[in-house]
């Protein structure tokens, strides 16, 4: 009976935990090969938005993502707790240069995925997007929301 009550409490809190709303924007990734890929993104700017991120989502459109932006560059680590879909994590510097990509991060894990050094932020895309489009370290994220 206690277990059932505990589970009911957990499920009752899920909507409250997923209550953040996100502003939206667009961005472009410019590759070294001269290709330009456009994405519609949600902006995770506040600590509460960044904590929630893409948790509890069951799908993400191929041209969609979430952009996490820090006020100042710093090392970043992300995990996939309560994230139900695989993601590519694209870490970039203040000038938009991609420093590393954590590809196809497995859903629902606590494994830490980290930037290689201080970064301005991370762009989360549907898992496999970077490989499919040929996005690599050295390419550039361009967005007015990086300021």
> Domain limits of the chain?
20-146
Residues 6+ apart with CB under 8 A from 55: 17, 18, 81, 82, 83, 84
For the chain, percent of residues with pLDDT exceeding 90: 84
Which CATH homologous superfamily contains domain 20-146?
Protein of unknown function DUF192 (2.60.120.1140)
Whole-angstrom Cα distance, residue 25 to residue 22?
Answer: 10
pTM score: 0.86
- Identify the three-state secondary structure at position 111: coil
| pLDDT tens profile 51-103 | 999 999 999 999 999 999 999 999 999 999 999 999 999 999 999 999 999 99
């Amino acid at each position: 009976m206690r277990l059932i009550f505990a589970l009911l409490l957990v499920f009752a809190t899920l909507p409250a935990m997923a209550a953040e709303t996100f502003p939206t924007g667009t961005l472009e990734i410019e590759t070294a090969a001269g290709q330009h890929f456009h994405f519609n993104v949600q902006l995770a700017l506040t600590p509460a938005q960044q904590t929630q991120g893409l948790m509890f989502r069951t799908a993400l459109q191929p041209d969609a993502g979430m952009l996490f932006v820090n006020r100042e560059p710093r090392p970043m680590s992300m995990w996939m707790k309560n994230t139900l879909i695989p993601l590519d994590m694209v870490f970039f510097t203040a000038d938009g240069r991609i420093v590393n990509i954590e590809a196809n991060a497995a859903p629902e894990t606590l494994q830490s995925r980290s930037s290689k050094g201080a970064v301005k932020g991370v762009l989360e895309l549907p898992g496999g997007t970077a490989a499919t489009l040929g996005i690599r370290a050295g390419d550039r994220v361009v967005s007015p929301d990086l300021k």
